[in-house]
Amino acid sequence: MGTTQTTASTLPKSVDLAEMNASFQQHGYAVARGLFSESEVEEIKSTFARIAENGPVPGHFEPVSKEESDGDPLKEFPRIIHPHRFDPVSRRYLVHPGVLTCMRELLRDDVLAANCMFYYKPPGSRGQAMHQDNFYLLVEPNTCVAAWTAIDDADPENGGMYLVSDTADEEIACPELANKEESFTTHFVPTPKGKKALPCKMKAGDTLFFNGSSIHGSGPNRSKDRFRRSFICHYVPKSTQRISKFYLPLLSPEGEDVMIEANDSGGPCGSSLREGTVWEGGTH
Ligand SMILES: O=C(O)CCC(=O)C(=O)O
């Protein structure tokens, strides 16, 4: 895989771009089935297995041994933040041509990549309470869009994603506190009255695209032995003027660093709250 442009006609046959676009514009999300090939899924899986074996990468991945984990599987297998800053395979997949083709269609603009993350989500781990991504990315004047790729099959039992349809036009809320028993992050955005969080069943290689204002999250992995690994990336329209400095530099489709203005406005809670413990585990 390189950074050569995939066009709509070279996407896998399982991906219907027109249908995705209609769903995304109407409901705020869309799924591209089988966007990543089996060999791509395997390469991502083996890359992150190797990173886990090699141990800590300060500031990105700071696991502890099973003995030191206090029985919390997420301490042993924490999510990896910004792996594209130290791992060339992640950097390459952050500009996956199929993802970029879908993104350009959904955003109706050229795009830049903001970040990627990898979640291992082993059996027994907590989920991530409902939230809105643009609270963290602070993209202006529009918003970010996530591309969440399943590396294992994902469903409600092993902590698959939930998304509240038709929330892409919601204001970004200042979050409430999440239930610590169920969520490893501290933020919680309630589902608006009359709306419902819907489970997104995914097969390995499927990618869920969703708007940065859409309310989404996941429950605990209650399975006995099924990891729920996922490769999660965020993108912004090329016309973006500002973003939280945590995501700078952005990455162009050709793999070049791109600097834009940092947004230090603090978002809907104001900047003082951003310093407090309420933020623990709450960044993207
Ligand atoms: O993968 C998950 O469990 C939650 C991920 C998520 O909500 C996010 O990356 O914004």
Q: How far is the CA of 129 from the centre of ligand 1 (A)?
A: 9
CA 136, CA 42: separation in Å to the nearest integer?
30
Binning pLDDT at 50, 70 and 90, where does residue 7 land?
confident
Mean pLDDT for 54-79 is 96
Using CA positions, which residue lies closest to atom 9 of ligand 1? 232
Binning pLDDT at 50, 70 and 90, where does residue 271 land?
low
* The pair of three-digit structure tokens given for residue 246, joined into one six-digit string: 């945590």
- Count of alpha carbons within 13 angstroms of residue 67, beta-carbon side: 0
CA angle (21, 24, 27) in 5-degree steps: 140
DSSP 8-class letter at 119: E
Using CA positions, which residue lies closest to atom 3 of ligand 1? 218
Which range has the worst mean pLDDT, 25-34, 115-124, 202-211, 272-281? 272-281
Mean pLDDT for 205-227 is 98
276 pLDDT higher than 50: no
Binning pLDDT at 50, 70 and 90, where does residue 270 land?
confident
Mean pLDDT score across all residues of the chain: 93
**213 close to 170: Cβ distance less than 8 angstroms:** yes
Using CA positions, which residue lies closest to atom 10 of ligand 1? 133
281 pLDDT higher than 80: no
Mean pLDDT for 168-195 is 96
Atom from ligand 1 closest to the CA of residue 121? 3
Among all chains, which residue has been given the structure tokens 């006995």?
224
Dihedral (CA of 41, 164, 239, 260) sign: negative
pLDDT at 278: 38
* The pair of three-digit structure tokens given for residue 87, joined into one six-digit string: 């791992």
pLDDT at 10: 81
Atom from ligand 1 closest to the CA of residue 119? 1
pLDDT at 279: 43
pLDDT at 275: 47
Coil, strand or helix: which one is 30?
A: strand
Binning pLDDT at 50, 70 and 90, where does residue 266 land?
confident
pLDDT at 109: 96
CA 78, CA 61: separation in Å to the nearest integer?
7
Q: How far is the CA of 244 from the centre of ligand 1 (A)?
A: 18
Looking at this protein, which amino acid is placed at residue 58? P
Mutate to test the pocket of ligand 1, among 130, 162, 208, 218 (most ligand atoms within 8 A of CB): 218
The pTM (predicted TM-score) of the whole model is 0.95
pLDDT at 280: 41
Looking at this protein, which amino acid is placed at residue 240? T
Binning pLDDT at 50, 70 and 90, where does residue 274 land?
low
For ligand 1, residues with CB inside 6 Å are: 119, 127-128, 133, 146, 159, 161, 216-218, 230, 232
pLDDT at 284: 56
CA 99, CA 114: separation in Å to the nearest integer?
13
Coil, strand or helix: which one is 115?
A: strand
Mean pLDDT for 165-171 is 97
CA 95, CA 174: separation in Å to the nearest integer?
31
Atom from ligand 1 closest to the CA of residue 230? 1
pLDDT at 79: 97
Distance of CA 203 to the CA centre of its chain: 16
pLDDT at 5: 63
Using CA positions, which residue lies closest to atom 7 of ligand 1? 217
Q: How far is the CA of 272 from the centre of ligand 1 (A)?
A: 25
CATH code 2.60.120.620 for 8-279: yes
pLDDT at 282: 45
pLDDT at 283: 57
Q: How far is the CA of 128 from the centre of ligand 1 (A)?
A: 6
Q: How far is the CA of 75 from the centre of ligand 1 (A)?
A: 17
1 pLDDT higher than 60: no
**274 close to 174: Cβ distance less than 8 angstroms:** no
CA 31, CA 209: separation in Å to the nearest integer?
6
Mutate to test the pocket of ligand 1, among 135, 216, 226 (most ligand atoms within 8 A of CB): 216
272 pLDDT higher than 60: no
